[in-house]
Amino acid sequence: MNWQITTACLVFAGLTATAQAGNIDLSIDSSLADYVLEVSCSDEPVDEERLRNSKVLQAQIKHHSGLNEKFSMDAYIEGLQAASRCETLEPDLFRFRYAVNDKEELAQAIAFLKSHEDELVNFVKAKITPYFPADRQFSGEIVLSAAGLSCGGFSMDGAFFIDVPCVADSVEDEFDAIKILSAHETYHALQYAFFAPFNEDMQIIATPAAAQDYLFMSLLTEGTAEYVAYSREVTGDGSLATLFRDFAVKGYQRIKYNLRMIGYSAEVLGQPGDSNRRLRDIYTLGFTGDTGQPFYYVGATMAKTIETIFGRDTLVCVMALSPEQFVLAYDAATSKPGTDAAPIGPGAVRAAQQLGQGKASFEDCI
């Protein structure tokens, strides 16, 4: 999930154990968070080479810079250098202020999450395993983050991140939300293992067709992650849990409207002009916490409808195809007699049909 007030980026201190269930191996990586806490207020020099070579940090920077180019590796290092002096920069882009001002609380939250590792990992596996092909293998990491862009979490390049500062002051009350968030974001990591190859780098989008494809890819990836880890079920009164429920309640209440909005969005992206700017604006409108991420719930509803009409095996098969097939499969499901699911906007269907020419069809999955 790519929330501005997002889902998921946990960097757990010192966790190296791997849990196994079926074809999924899942471990928790706290190395970056550990280092941030180690350096903060230490007055020790920052190991720039270590940071620049960190695959985890590279993935985090790639995600953040895709939303705003200010979030660079250099900016992260500069922020940690200030944190080492027990200072924070203005603006504090990566929110190092938590490692400086609330270091003990942050360390206690990480310790709590470590002590509940088995419960967290087992919950995640129970949610995601039914929607992962039985003949595939996956080995991945849940990364705990002590400094990042926004509250919640995100995934990038096969790793899932949980933002610990977001939940540190009420981590026990937020644990159910953390589990949902972890399942959502870990499922994003699984998507790299069996979905058709996709690139989350928004900066390379330069044509109407590429922008439409990115829209459908985001609808597929975020929608299916929401479906396997249904956020409306989260309990607890913490700020993250409350946020999840509020977003989900509003999002699921407006499904018909937002299905039409997907159609309008595809039409806008299909016009000549600044495709990258248009995509960024529509992505902000539909997929970020700033606006309640309404397209997450559209995609989840589409996945549920496809499974209800055609079966789980068909849904998993469709998810592995080019993303426009997800749209076409939903369109086909809504046309079945007795189906009460609302149709998706016709602009999305037309765009999907054009993008799908010459590609493997969802019909082969049924």
**Average pLDDT in the chain:** 90
Q: Are 227 and 252 in contact (CB under 8 A)?
A: no
- pLDDT tens for each residue of 231-260: 988 888 888 899 999 999 999 999 999 999
Cα–Cα dist 44/264, whole Å:
53
CA distances from residue 222 to 154, 155, 168 in whole angstroms, order as listed? 11, 10, 25
Res 17 pLDDT > 50: no
Q: What is the pLDDT of residue 319?
A: 98
List the alpha helices (DSSP H) in the chain.
31-39, 48-52, 55-67, 73-84, 97-101, 103-115, 117-128, 175-194, 208-228, 239-253, 255-269, 275-287, 294-310, 312-319, 324-334, 346-355
Q: What is the pLDDT of residue 11?
A: 37
Cα–Cα dist 350/353, whole Å:
5
Q: What is the pLDDT of residue 2?
A: 42
Q: What is the pLDDT of residue 186?
A: 87
Q: What is the pLDDT of residue 1?
A: 46
pLDDT band at 18 (very low <50, low <70, confident <90, very high): very low
Res 152 pLDDT > 80: no
Between 280 and 7, the higher pLDDT residue: 280
Give the three-class secondary structure for 18: strand
Question: Can you tell me the mean pLDDT for 127-150?
Answer: 89
Q: What is the pLDDT of residue 36?
A: 97
Q: What is the pLDDT of residue 48?
A: 97
Res 209 pLDDT > 70: yes
| Residue with the two structure tokens 């439409």 | 212
Nearest to 17 by CA among 152, 120, 100, 166: 120
- pLDDT tens for each residue of 113-134: 888 988 998 999 999 999 999 8
Q: What is the pLDDT of residue 339?
A: 87
Exposure string for 178-206, b = 16+ CB within 10 A, e = fewer: bbbbbbbbbbbbbbbbebeebebebeebe
- pLDDT tens for each residue of 186-195: 898 889 889 9
Nearest to 198 by CA among 181, 216, 224: 216
Between 157 and 221, the higher pLDDT residue: 221
Between 110 and 46, the higher pLDDT residue: 46
Question: Which burial class, exposed, middle or buried, applies to 45 when counting CB atoms under 10 A from its CB (0-12, 13-18, 19+)?
Answer: exposed
Q: What is the pLDDT of residue 8?
A: 36
Question: Can you tell me the mean pLDDT for 19-34?
Answer: 74
Question: Can you tell me the mean pLDDT for 321-336?
Answer: 97
Q: What is the pLDDT of residue 58?
A: 95
- pLDDT tens for each residue of 300-319: 999 999 999 999 999 999 99
Dihedral over alpha carbons 26, 31, 37, 42 (to 10 degrees): 170
